[in-house]
Amino acid sequence: MLKDLTLRIFDILGKDLEDKGILLAQDLDHLILKLELAIANDSEMRKSSQSGQIQGLDRLGQRAFPFLQLLQSAQKNKAYIVWGD
């Protein structure tokens, strides 16, 4: 489930999910905007949907909030984000 969420977030960001990676400080503004826009679009789609199918899925905003906070913290500190070995 978490891997699906991570893949979805990285797809939104236009990044490949690799075993090792880095998000550069100079890219964070753009990445944050992309994720915030996707969250807003998800919220709007839920409001306008008559289908219980969408309502049953996890809300992107709720699930992606910790990652968004990580991006914002790194942005504030002019830091980059690194993962992997």
Please state the pTM of the whole predicted model.
0.82
Residue type, 33: L
Q: What is the dihedral of CA 50, 37, 39, 7, to 10 degrees?
A: 110
Would you give the distance in Å from CA 67 to the centre of its chain?
6
Residue 72 banded pLDDT, cuts 50, 70, 90: very high
Other beta carbons less than 10 A from residue 13's beta carbon: 19
Strand pairing partners for 81? Answer: 23
Higher per-residue pLDDT: 69 or 54 = 69
pLDDT > 90 in the chain, percent:
65
Q: What is the pLDDT of residue 53?
A: 56
Residue type, 53: Q
Q: Which tens digit of pLDDT belongs to each residue from 24-60?
A: 999 999 999 999 999 999 888 877 776 555 555 567 8
User: Structural domain of residue 12, as residue ranges?
Assistant: 2-83
Count of domains forming the chain: 1
